[in-house]
Every structure is written in structure tokens, then in C-alpha cells.
Structure 1
Amino acid sequence: MKSLADPVSVLKGVGPKSAVALNKLGINTVGNLLLEYPFRYDDFAVRRLSDITDQEKVTLKGTVASEAVLTRFGRKKSRLNFRLLVEHDVIMVTFFNQPYLAQKVETGKEMAIYGKWDGRHQRLAGMKILFNAGANDIAGVYRSSKDVQQATVKKLVKQAYELYGDVLTEIIPEETRRKFKLLPRKTMIHDMHFPENQQAASLARRSAVFDEFFCFQVKMQFIKKIQHKKHGIKISYDNDQVKMFIATLPFELTAAQKKVVNEICSDLHHTVHMNRLLQGDVGSGKTVVAAIALYAAVTAGFQAALMVPTEILAQQHAEKLDHLFAKFNVNVALLTGSTASRVKIRRELLKHLKDGQIDIVVGTHALIQNDVVFKNLGLVITDEQHRFGVNQRQKFKKKGIMPDVLAMTATPIPRTLAITMYGEMDVSTITELPKGRLPIETVWLREKQLGEAIIFLKKQLSFGAQAYVISPLIEESEMMDLKNAEEIFAKLKKQLEPEYHVGLLHGRMKGSEKNEVMAAFKNKKFDILVSTTVIEVGVDIPNATMMLILDADRFGLAQLHQLRGRVGRGKKQSYCFLIADPKNEYGVARMKVMSETNDGFIIAQKDLELRGQGDILGNKQSGVPDFKVGDPVTDLRILQAAQQEAAQIINDPEFTHKSTNKGLINYLRHELDKGISFD
């Protein structure tokens, strides 16, 4: 019995070697092949000279007006020239490295040629001769590789559709197809591969984009539904104690903080397993929200853990929590790689963790080592969660029996990506900064204006403020003509000491050295800290009001925003100077965006538009799905519609009983764990 799950090797012409080459392209089954749509179409419709523009790819039809002249030069290189009478004009046609076409060119013969038009020289750089012009005016262009030619993919797709077209069944329910005016699945796949014209290709693509987004979203919504059915831990926290703790904070929570605290506490209080993402801009107060959640778990008799990506950040969080819980009976511990080197201290810590004497532990990935055992872990929080791999996060969760999970990120994610990356999570967003915070003034200067920035920096230092100077490199590089931290450190020491003290921080230092430098900077032993991006995440020095970023165009927008977020954490006005001479329009656009807004969500959206969804966080790290047809940026409205429709269908109490959902249920059975119950 034929099935779309049949290996691609069942097709004629696909031997073991071809199968391996196709597998490398992600084509393992007949179903994969049929969904391997063209990434663009070549339009072979014959055009008039008066309607075409310079450098456009077009098909021109005319009569050969001269004999073909073949010139060979170099090894396997050749040029074929002949003249073509098109309407009332004679143009030159040139083919490179296709000498075999010479015998096809005959004076007086009518020909249609597809190529790139050079309007200035009235010349067509030929790509192919169309021997059946008009028979197929549009043709798909497919992904290929050195081992799989595009012609092979085309031939196999045609064979697969002819043999398996009758096996294609509907996934999207008929009511949804009618609602969004979508093509039937079989027609959609046919017209994506073999459209009659551009209009048919556009209609098919619209349906294919919705189909791709919808299929992804139903999986996300179904996983979310299953997670919500799972019985997690009911953390019956003491509401009065939590309110008392909030009342001791030296500031009032913002409306946004109160909202997300209520969302998290509601999750904790229910037996439904919490799987929530807390996202908020740099300095929006996520740590305090996390502290409230941690304390709530402790009042219910549970232990809680907070995992962060760096030792500096872990130490900072531990100190902050110690300070916040000073009036409460809460035991906070710190576990990092440095702790591991102090055997006796670590042994004691693990013992107290296992017997329940430690209420909250803050740590790096050291928390997920095998010998770390909790007595009663109820809540796990990961900060800057995208810096941890999926396996690390899973190991963290397994330190308890279905503990509630809160992931936090200060890398603002536009709705476009939140829908795709975190479709299976509940998302809470802090949309405002704490009261009293002044927007950071950001100025972009060219390299020749660096002196102006240094003068301003000295002025800030004279007021008792501290400053960061950020460099993309640690030391001099022969490969790149960029400023490096060691060189800048030496120059600033020479220029500013003994009046002002300069410190150096970079990623090659040992953990203990980094901690010493940061402690010295925090205690005002340094006025300026020259650093690489090691200070990008979480470092909190309220007295630092000035940042100078050298070669700023070498950093991504998200990274620049994170770096800038190290200042502006107190109540004084803060400044960020971007020193850059961008080499292209993309670099200029990034500098302008950073100068125009402090809003991380706007910056993230601009970054997405400039770089594209696949590159914004790096697919492998971020979990962003690799859509083949749809683009979450340009097709955002379709993505949102697909998500809403998927959620509505999956959350319908009658979902499994409706006959119109049969194809969708079969799809989910195939795509998800075979052990999942649909009852």
C-alpha cells in the first residue's frame, strides 16, 4: 500500500547514492519531496523589448540574423555570439560555456531565448534556448546541491506526484479551507510545482504558506493542551506572606510587573503544569518578579532553583536575593563551577540541598550535574533561557518531579517570533520600565569623532559616574582591523591615570578573576571598565552612566541593545556612544535604529526585518522552525491567522469527535509521539 512515508528510494532513478544525496537536502520520504516546493519561478512568457527593464531576466523571441561565432578560451571556457532580430531591432545574444548550442543556431530560424537583458548595450546574456516557447511559460526553481541537480529534483517531483497524487489527503478541515479560501491540498501541491501561470503560482503559494504555518501551529497547540492536562505540582503558597514580602520591596511594582506576578502565581496555585516564558526589556524588573515566584514556592514548603548562563550573573543574583530576603527566613545558596573547585564547600552545599536546608539555589549549568539532588524541588527558573540548549533545560526540569517551569529572557522577541518559537508556552511580557528610569540617550559617531566622545566621557567621570568602554576583540588580530580591549585598556590608562582608574575584563580570564574585576568596579575601585561582550547579560552597576561601544557596527542589534542595557540602571541620566563607520546600508540602518529608540521590542522587530527570521537568534540555538515557504516577517498576518485558527480547533471540546478533523488527527498521530492519547 502506497504511503507518503515511503522512502524516496522507491522512485525510479533513485539508487543508494542518490538517496543519500537527497537525504542531505532533507528529502527522506515521498511526502518530503512533494513538499519541497520551488523557492522561485522563472517566467518564460515572451516579452516585448519596450516592456523590459535593464538587468531583468526575460524571454525574447526573434529570428537568428547572423551565424553563430564560437570562441574558446582557457580550459573548458567558451563564448557563443549571434545576432537576433527582435521586432524591428537587432540585438546581440551571448552564451557562455555552452558550446553545444552552436549547432542549434541557424540563420533565419525563429528562436525564443531566456536570459538577462543588458539595456545599456542592447545585449541578452543567454541562459537557455526555449524550444517549446509558449507551452510552459512558468517553471519552478528548486534547491539543489553538487550531488543533486535541479533537473533531477524536478523529474522526481513529477514522478512522485503522478504515482502518489491519489494518496494526498486533506489536513486542514474543510470549514477552515472555506473560511480562508484555500485550495484543496492536492490542487495546492500540483499548482506549487506545475502552475500554468504566475497567478496560479501566487494562489497556490498563499494556500501553501497557510498550510505550513497551520501544520506547525496545530502541533504547538496540541503539545500545549497536553501539557495543560498534565498534573504538575500545586504550590499552595501563603498569600499573606507573599504580600508581606512585596510590601518590603524598596519600590512599588509597575502595573506590568503586577500583571505577570498574578499570571505566574495563578499557575503555581493550580495543579496544571506551568510552562511559562517571562520576557521583558533590559532593566524592566524581571529579577524581582522571579524573586516573588521563588519566595511563593518556599512559603509552600518547596525548594526553588534559578539557573543563569554566567558565574558573574549567578553571583549577582544570589547577592540580590540574599538582600531581598534579609528579613525573611530564606536560605539562599550559590552553586557554580568555582564552587566545584572548593570540594569541602561543595560537599556541604549538596548535603544541605538534599536534606532540604537550602530553600533557593542560584547557579550556572553546574546545577544540572548528576550529583546535584534536591529534597523537594517545586519551581525551576532559567534566566536568558536561549543561552541554554534544549537538553540542558530538560535535565534541569528532571531535578524534580514535574516542577513548574518559568523561563526568562531579556532578549525581546517580537510577536512574529514568539508565535513560532514559543507556541507551546504561555507568554508573560513586562511592557514598561520601573518608575524613575530615564531613557538612555544614544548617539552614533563616526571614527573621526571619537575624541568628542572621550571628552564627554571625562565630563561624566568628573561628576563621579562610572563608564564602560566596549571592544569586539580581546587582543590585536591580523584578520580584522578592529579596536581590541587590551590596546584600548593600555591607551586609556596612559591618558587618564592617575586621575581615573581603568580596569580590564574579557572572556579569557578565569571565573575568579572576572568576579574580582566586577567586584572592584562595583565598589568604585575602577572608574572605567574596558570590556568585551562578557558584560552583555545581567551585570547591574547603577552608578555606571556612560558606555562607549567601539566598532559598534560589528555587533548585532540585539547584542548592542543588551550592552546598552548595562547603563541606565539608576536614576541618573545615562548615555551610550556608538563609534562606527559602517561599510554598507545594513550597518547604517542598525546604527540609526539604535539611535532612534530604546524599546527592545521595536529593535527586535527591526532586527528581524533587516536580517530575516532564520538568522535573528540562530536556528540551531533558538528553536526557530525552518519554514520552507512562509516567512514569519512578510507573512505575519497569515501566521497570526493560522495560530488563532489552530488554537480554536485544538481547544474545541469536540475536537476528536468531529469527522472533519479526521485528516488533522491522522497528521498529528504521524507527527507526534505515537503514545499520545487523543481521547
Structure 2
Amino acid sequence: MKGVGPKNAVALSKLGINTVGELLQTYPFRYDDFAVRKLSEITDQEKVTLKGTVASEAVLTRFGRKKSRLNFRLLVDHDVVMVTFFNQPYLAPKIETGQEMVIYGKWDSKRQRLAGMKMLFNAGTNDIAGVYRSSKEIKQATIKKIVVTAYELYKDLLIDIIPLETRTKFRLLPRQKMVHDMHFPVNQTSARLARRSATFDEFFRFQVKLQFIRKTEHKEQGIRLAYNNAKLRSFIAALPFELTDAQKKVINEICSDMHHDVHMNRLLQGDVGSGKTVVAAVALYAAVTAGFQAALMVPTEILAQQHAEKLDRLFAKFDVTVALLTSATASRVKTRRELLKHLNDGQINVVVGTHALIQDDVVFKRLGLVVTDEQHRFGVNQRQKFKQKGTLPDVLAMTATPIPRTLAITMYGEMDISTITELPAGRQPIETVWLREKQLQEALLFLTRQLELGAQAYVISPLIEESEMMDLKNAEEVFSRLAKQLEPRYHVGLLHGRMKATEKNDVMSAFKAKKFDVLVATTVIEVGVDVPNATVMLILDADRFGLAQLHQLRGRVGRGSKQSYCFLIADPKSEYGVSRMKVMTETNNGFIIAQKDLELRGQGDLLGNKQAGVPDFQVGDPVADLRVLQVAQTEAAEIINDPAFMQKSENKGLLTYLKQELAQGISFD
């Protein structure tokens, strides 16, 4: 496209813009209001546009080579306002006494001064202008120029995705008009109406994909996993603990799905430590007794190794072969080659792994069930790719990030949802205490007393190395300090994200084997790591973490029958920070915490927003605009489930969109 050379293309790509379509859907994140205002209407420190007559000559003062100040007086109605431009000396020749000028800047009411930001030589055409995300490599002005060119060249390709009937019902703008007014609104009203339509458009496009996948999968002939009920009962009876009623309920839901020949696509959500892994093990074993292979995909190598070991123990007496496939396996070529061969010839029943499982050379003999752990880390596209590994295997996705039900239904609209609502018997609530920085020594004394009783502890730090930007405790400094304080009597280990996978595994294994009494770690240990003997967690600068993350971290203790403790060390600077600390001390229930997180902050980390599984909505906010999201879901479901959906001419644009978005692995016959 004209105006986008190789340099600009790379800069735009870094902002996530690679096509004209993506460019036109990258809307301004705010608008500068250039409508001329009266002095009587404006407040101190407000950004405003003033119109007046230049009442004095411009005076330019320089400070050193690059710094300057440009002053002149502007007569606005009957008031004289001092206007100052910093470091824009080139404006001086453009200012003439008696000339009428329109200037945008920040108003200082005490000094009757305007700190000038822009001179608006073409004032009056548009009252407002969009402000885009930019970077060092590409300026705001360049992006605006490229957007204008793109719209002029390609506006006729902006076809309506939302059918006319829906647009009429909800008073939505046609797509071309919506995109135009999002980029080039004439005033605040047109910007607001465009944003209203763009919010619905964004949610509708997301929901229509989910609803189409759901309809396709419910229609598709899945695999009927005719598992051996007697063997399954024996396996459950041999477990070293009694299943909770909630676990039994979700196992029945999952087994019922597996036994039918409709494709299973179920989300299992349960709080930290609620026993999802055991539920997954029952499902995996059911698939094996039906003569199929099963796969469990997890986000990290530590977690993959832990799950493989756990399943090995559970399946020890039941003639099930478990294998582990991660990127570490890939470095041992012979092992990998043998493993892939045994997967292909069916000698391996259950394989546990990371993203390595969806690589092209991983071929199963008869894949019947796919389980993904920490659902929000994997996107719809990754699940689609995994499905193609077999003849439409059943899918069970699991998450320990509790999501309030209304949001869960909406975000995972293509899935059925099962929820584990109780913790296993014998699990005691974790006692959580919030202490100020000056009370840190008290927490360390308590930690030492617990070590004397034979327990182990985690100390969590938000950073790995010193940062000049933030005065936070960093893992290496904390490690050195604790080692001096506790050794030689107690041993201290260190775990952080910059370590290689093998190093992390070695440290974690040593901690589980009680070679370390205290493990200083960053959030690497957030998900799934299981050391029942660890009963104390101390989180430094706890106010730097989100609620969902704090809850996940706290869930690393309390894995056994002993009473466990969590200390939050924090001096929050805001009311929001104080609220988070209070919520953590008031409840251990992840679903309540998730709801509070929604109320306090909105979606953010709760939904793993930057992860592949949840869209990073640009215009709409699933929390603030939840009602719009739910309406978009209902509307999308009605349209997709209409028996005449494919034949209706008004759905032509929508069908084109779906074909582009879901071309992989979905039939449109």
C-alpha cells in the first residue's frame, strides 16, 4: 500500500498490524476534542481549544541547544490569555499580531495561561481527532495518514457482517459508516454512536464463531467411547481417597458425553486444589478402556512432568502406558523418535505434554480424548488443530482460574461447562494474613518456627533482577538474604523464569524431595505445582499482583492435610490495592475472588486476557459491556441455529467472514 514502506511495515507489525483489514480495525483509543470552548466553561488543567486574536508579538527564548519557550498573548473575547509553546521554535514565524488563531492546549486557570500543544490551522472541519497507539518507530501522524489512504482505497471491501435485520433491531451503523466514524468522527456524538456499533460488532464476530463451532460440533459425528464400566469402577475404588460429591457429579457429566457419539467439547472449572487432575485421570482411563489413546496438554514443562508422574502412579496397577512429550524430549532425538513411533503404533496409551503435542510429526494411532489443562492458555485455533490429530476426538478443557458463571458462559460459548464446587475432605482453609513491610520480620519468625516443625515454605518475589524503575524485592536479592539468615541449618533454593527448563525441573524436584526447605521463586510456581509438605507462603510486594494471581499462588500451599498459612507483605498506595489485600484475607473461595476481581478491576488477568484462549477485545470490555456481550451471544446463536442460515442472502457477508476465520478444519457444506 502506498505510504507503507518496509520500515513502516515492520513498525506496524510490532503494533500487531499486518494487513489493511487489521489496520482499519485498529481504532483510536481516545479522541482529542478540538471544538472551540468559552473561557467561562472550562476547568483548571483541562485540555481545550481556544479561538482568539494574537494581541502581542511572539517572544522566543532559548535554553541550550534544544530547549526553547515561545510566548505570545491571545485576546479571547474580552480576556487576554498568555499562550506558551515549549520546544517548538519553528512556530514563531507563523504568529502575527492581529491574526485570528485556534489553539489546542492545557488550561491553567490560576495563571490564565494556555500550555499550547497544537495550532489548528484547518479548524472547523472536524471537532475531534482520533489518537492511535504509536511507537518510537512510527509516529501518530504517519499512522493517521496511512489509515486515511487505506480507507479511501479499500472502503468498498468493508462488507456488512451483521445481517440487516439485526442492525435495524439494535440501531447499528452499516460497517463502512461504522469504520469511517470510528476513525474520522465529526463530533463526540458520531464517535459515541460509532463506538456503540463497534462494541457490538466486535462481540458479535467473536460470538458468531463460537456459536458456529458449537453447532458444527454438536452436529458432527463424534467418537463413541464405549468404556468398560466395571474397570472404571475398579479404578475409582482403588484411588487412595474418596471422591467428593462434586467430583462424582462432573465425572458423570463427562462420561455421559464420552459414551454418546456426539462430539464432547466440555470445560471443567474448579478452584485451586479441588481435584481436577483426578477427574481428568478417570476420563483418560475411560478412553483407554474403550480402546483409544488419550492426550493431556499443559502449558509448562514442570507441570507436564508432574502430571506424567502423578498419572504413572495412579495407573501403575492398571496396565496403562504413560509417556511424556515436551520440547526437552525434542532435544533427545532418539528418545523422541521412539516415542513418536510408539504413539503411532498404539503402544502408548496416554501422552502428557506441552505445545509439542500439536506439532505436525506427532501422529496417533487412535486418539479418542484430548484434555487441556489451564484452558485460558490455549486458543480456539489450537484446540481445532488438536482435533485434527484424530477422527474428531472428545475435548475436555480444564481451568483453575475461576470465572463467574455469566462470564464463563459468554467467553466459552462453544463449550458445555462443568464446575467442581467443593474441596476434597481434610483440606483446611489456608489462613491468610496481610502484614505491612515493617512487620516482615514477624512473618519470617513464624516461617522459621514452621521449618523447625519439619514444614517447607515458598517466598515469592515479583522480580528476578534489580530494576531501577521499581523498588521491588527481587528474587536473587531475597535468596541471598534468606540464605545468610537460615543456612546452614536450613537450605534455600531459587526458581525463576529465566532458568532453562531442565534447571527449573531440577530445582522443583529437589524441593519436592526436601533437599530445600525454602524455595524463593517468581510466579513460575503459579500454576499446578504440587508439594504437600509446603505449608507456608510469603508473598513480597503482594499489592503488585492481581487477585487471580494471588489466589493461584496461595493455592501452592494447603495441598496436604496440615494447616497452611499465607502472608501477604504489602504497603499498597491505592484504595484498590488495599481492597485486594482485604479480599484475600476474607475468603479462600476462588469464585468469590473472581467476582470481586471483576467488580474491582474488570476483565484483565482474570481471563488471561493476553493469552490465546480469550480475545483481546479492542473496543468492548466484557465486564463493563457484559449486557452487550450477552445480547450479541443470543443474537449470534439465533442466526447460526436458523435452519435456513446458509441459504439466506442477508447472511452472505457473515458466511464470507466465517469462511475466512474458520477455514481450518470446518466444513461449510
Q: Residue 262 and residue 157 in structure 1: after superposition, are their counterparts in 2 closer, same or farther (change >3 A)?
A: same
Q: Which moved more, 1:339-348 or 1:170-179?
A: 339-348
Q: Residue 297 and residue 55 in structure 1: after superposition, are their counterparts in 2 closer, same or farther (change >3 A)?
A: same
* Distance across 2 between alignment mates of 1:79 and 1:626: 42
* Distance across 2 between alignment mates of 1:387 and 1:274: 20
- Alignment size in residue pairs: 665
User: SS of the counterpart of 2:74?
Assistant: strand
The letter of the residue matching 1:439 is P
- Displacement after TM superposition at 1:453 (Å): 0.9
- Displacement after TM superposition at 1:515 (Å): 5.7
Q: Which moved more, 1:59-68 or 1:355-364?
A: 355-364
Counterpart of 2:493 (choices 504, 509, 516) is 504
CA contact (8 A) 2:54 2:96 kept: yes
> 1:173 — aligned with what?
163
The letter of the residue matching 1:445 is L
* Distance across 1 between alignment mates of 2:7 and 2:540: 50
CA contact (8 A) 1:489 1:502 kept: no
Q: Residue 615 and residue 254 in structure 1: after superposition, are their counterparts in 2 closer, same or farther (change >3 A)?
A: closer
Q: Residue 583 and residue 37 in structure 1: after superposition, are their counterparts in 2 closer, same or farther (change >3 A)?
A: same
CA contact (8 A) 2:275 2:424 kept: yes
Give the percent of matched residue pairs that are identical in Structure 1 and Structure 2: 79
Counterpart of 1:520 (choices 513, 521, 539) is 513
Q: Residue 25 and residue 317 in structure 1: after superposition, are their counterparts in 2 closer, same or farther (change >3 A)?
A: closer
Q: CA deviation digits over 1:280-327, x for unaligned, max 9?
A: 221121111101101211221223233445565445434543554466
CA contact (8 A) 1:416 1:633 kept: no
Q: CA deviation digits over 1:173-192, x for unaligned, max 9?
A: 22212332222334333433
The letter of the residue matching 1:140 is G
Counterpart of 1:271 (choices 257, 261, 265) is 261
The letter of the residue matching 1:502 is H
The letter of the residue matching 1:57 is K
Counterpart of 2:83 (choices 80, 93, 104) is 93
- Displacement after TM superposition at 1:438 (Å): 3.2
Q: Residue 464 and residue 626 in structure 1: after superposition, are their counterparts in 2 closer, same or farther (change >3 A)?
A: closer
Aligned residues: CA RMSD? 4.3
CA contact (8 A) 1:541 1:566 kept: yes
Q: Residue 442 and residue 238 in structure 1: after superposition, are their counterparts in 2 closer, same or farther (change >3 A)?
A: same
User: SS of the counterpart of 2:535?
Assistant: strand
1:447 and 2:440 aligned: no
1:302 and 2:292 aligned: yes
> 2:52 — aligned with what?
62
* Distance across 2 between alignment mates of 1:578 and 1:445: 6
Q: Which moved more, 1:190-199 or 1:508-517?
A: 508-517
* Distance across 2 between alignment mates of 1:510 and 1:28: 37
- Displacement after TM superposition at 1:154 (Å): 4.6
CA contact (8 A) 1:471 1:485 kept: yes
Gap regions ≥5 residues in structure 2: none
Q: Residue 19 and residue 286 in structure 1: after superposition, are their counterparts in 2 closer, same or farther (change >3 A)?
A: closer
CA contact (8 A) 2:376 2:608 kept: no
> 1:383 — aligned with what?
373
* Distance across 2 between alignment mates of 1:496 and 1:19: 54
- Displacement after TM superposition at 1:241 (Å): 3.8
CA contact (8 A) 1:505 1:517 kept: no
- Displacement after TM superposition at 1:359 (Å): 3.6
CA contact (8 A) 2:548 2:605 kept: no
Counterpart of 1:202 (choices 180, 192, 199) is 192
> 1:47 — aligned with what?
37
Q: Which moved more, 1:280-289 or 1:503-512?
A: 503-512
User: SS of the counterpart of 2:369?
Assistant: strand
Q: CA deviation digits over 1:444-464, x for unaligned, max 9?
A: 222321121123224444555
User: SS of the counterpart of 2:171?
Assistant: coil
CA contact (8 A) 1:312 1:514 kept: no
CA contact (8 A) 1:37 1:142 kept: yes
* Distance across 1 between alignment mates of 2:208 and 2:18: 23
Q: Which moved more, 1:393-402 or 1:93-102?
A: 393-402
User: SS of the counterpart of 1:656?
Assistant: coil
> 1:3 — aligned with what?
none
* Distance across 2 between alignment mates of 1:360 and 1:675: 24
Q: CA deviation digits over 1:531-551, x for unaligned, max 9?
A: 554543323333432212234
Within 5 A, what are the aligned runs for 1:82-481?
Answer: 82-131=72-121, 133-144=123-134, 150-151=140-141, 153-154=143-144, 157=147, 168-249=158-239, 251-309=241-299, 312-325=302-315, 328-332=318-322, 356=346, 358-363=348-353, 374-384=364-374, 400-413=390-403, 422-461=412-451, 465-472=455-462
* Distance across 1 between alignment mates of 2:127 and 2:34: 4
The letter of the residue matching 1:69 is V
The letter of the residue matching 2:42 is I
CA contact (8 A) 2:379 2:613 kept: no
Q: CA deviation digits over 1:72-127, x for unaligned, max 9?
A: 34435432211223344322111223344434434444443221111232210112
User: SS of the counterpart of 1:411?
Assistant: coil
- Displacement after TM superposition at 1:206 (Å): 0.3
- Displacement after TM superposition at 1:209 (Å): 1.2
Q: Residue 673 and residue 494 in structure 1: after superposition, are their counterparts in 2 closer, same or farther (change >3 A)?
A: closer
* Distance across 1 between alignment mates of 2:478 and 2:62: 56
The letter of the residue matching 1:176 is T
User: SS of the counterpart of 1:657?
Assistant: coil
User: SS of the counterpart of 1:649?
Assistant: helix
CA contact (8 A) 2:258 2:264 kept: yes
- Displacement after TM superposition at 1:501 (Å): 4.0
Q: Residue 352 and residue 603 in structure 1: after superposition, are their counterparts in 2 closer, same or farther (change >3 A)?
A: same
Gap regions ≥5 residues in structure 1: 1-7
> 2:537 — aligned with what?
547
* Distance across 2 between alignment mates of 1:60 and 1:340: 65
- Displacement after TM superposition at 1:42 (Å): 2.0
- Displacement after TM superposition at 1:212 (Å): 1.9
* Distance across 1 between alignment mates of 2:191 and 2:464: 51
Counterpart of 1:562 (choices 535, 552, 555) is 552
* Distance across 1 between alignment mates of 2:355 and 2:667: 34
Q: Residue 47 and residue 602 in structure 1: after superposition, are their counterparts in 2 closer, same or farther (change >3 A)?
A: farther
CA contact (8 A) 1:472 1:482 kept: yes
* Distance across 1 between alignment mates of 2:327 and 2:176: 56
CA contact (8 A) 1:238 1:300 kept: yes
Within 5 A, what are the aligned runs for 1:63-82?
Answer: 63-75=53-65, 77-82=67-72
